[in-house]
Amino acid sequence: MQKQKSESRVAVYYELTKPKIWYLLVFTAFGATLTASNIYNIEISPATWILMLFSVAAGSAAANTLTNYHDRDIDAIMERTKNRPLPSKRIYPAEKARNFGLALAGISLVLAFVISFTTTLEQGIWATAFIAFGLLNNILVYSYMLKRSSRTNIILGGLCGGSPPMIGWVAVTTTDLWTMGLAMAGLVFIWIPMHIWALTLHFKEDYNKVNVPMLTAVQSEKTSARAIAGSTFVMVLFSIVPFFLTTESGESMVGSVYLWTAIASGALMIILSAWVIAKPMEKASWTLFKFSSPYLAVLFIALMVDSAL
Q: Residue 4 maps to which CATH number?
A: 1.10.357.140
**Residue 11 shares a structural domain with residue 139:** yes
- Cα–chain center distance at 278: 28
Residue span of the structural domain in which 275 resides: 176-309
Asked whether the predicted pLDDT for residue 30 surpasses 50, the reply is yes
**Residue 132 shares a structural domain with residue 194:** no
Share of the chain above pLDDT 90, in %: 84
Q: Are 307 and 39 in contact (CB under 8 A)?
A: yes
DSSP conformational letter for 90: S
Q: Are 285 and 202 in contact (CB under 8 A)?
A: yes
**Residue 161 shares a structural domain with residue 218:** no
Q: Number of folded domains in the chain?
A: 2
The sign of the torsion formed by the CA atoms of 215, 220, 221, 225 equals negative
Last residue in a domain, options 174, 195, 229? 174
Q: Are 127 and 121 in contact (CB under 8 A)?
A: no
Asked whether the predicted pLDDT for residue 2 surpasses 50, the reply is no
pLDDT digits (tens, 9 = 90+) for 223-259: 988 999 999 999 999 999 999 999 887 889 999 999 9
> How far, in Å, CA of 118 to CA of 8, rounded?
36
pLDDT digits (tens, 9 = 90+) for 275-301: 988 886 667 888 999 999 999 999 999
Q: Are 97 and 86 in contact (CB under 8 A)?
A: yes
**Residue 160 shares a structural domain with residue 191:** no
Q: Which residues contact 140 (CB under 8 A, 6 or more apart)?
A: none
Q: How many CB atoms lie within 10 A of CB 212?
A: 19
- Cα–chain center distance at 3: 34
> How far, in Å, CA of 279 to CA of 281, rounded?
6
**Residue 19 shares a structural domain with residue 165:** yes
Last residue in a domain, options 174, 207, 223? 174
pLDDT digits (tens, 9 = 90+) for 11-24: 999 999 999 999 99
Last residue in a domain, options 174, 190, 215? 174
Q: Are 49 and 188 in contact (CB under 8 A)?
A: no
Average pLDDT over every residue of 115-124? 98
**Residue 270 shares a structural domain with residue 138:** no
> How far, in Å, CA of 99 to CA of 298, rounded?
35
CA distances from 299 to 17, 106, 244 (A): 25, 31, 15
DSSP H helices, the chain, are 2-16, 19-40, 46-70, 72-75, 95-114, 121-136, 153-156, 163-170, 182-202, 204-209, 215-218, 221-238, 256-278, 282-308
**Residue 187 shares a structural domain with residue 223:** yes
- Cα–chain center distance at 280: 25
**Residue 162 shares a structural domain with residue 252:** no
**Residue 277 shares a structural domain with residue 233:** yes
**Residue 204 shares a structural domain with residue 112:** no
**Residue 166 shares a structural domain with residue 19:** yes
Q: Are 54 and 89 in contact (CB under 8 A)?
A: no
Instruction: Look at residue 280 in the predicted model and tell me its pLDDT.
Output: 67
Average pLDDT over every residue of 93-121? 98
**Residue 128 shares a structural domain with residue 138:** yes
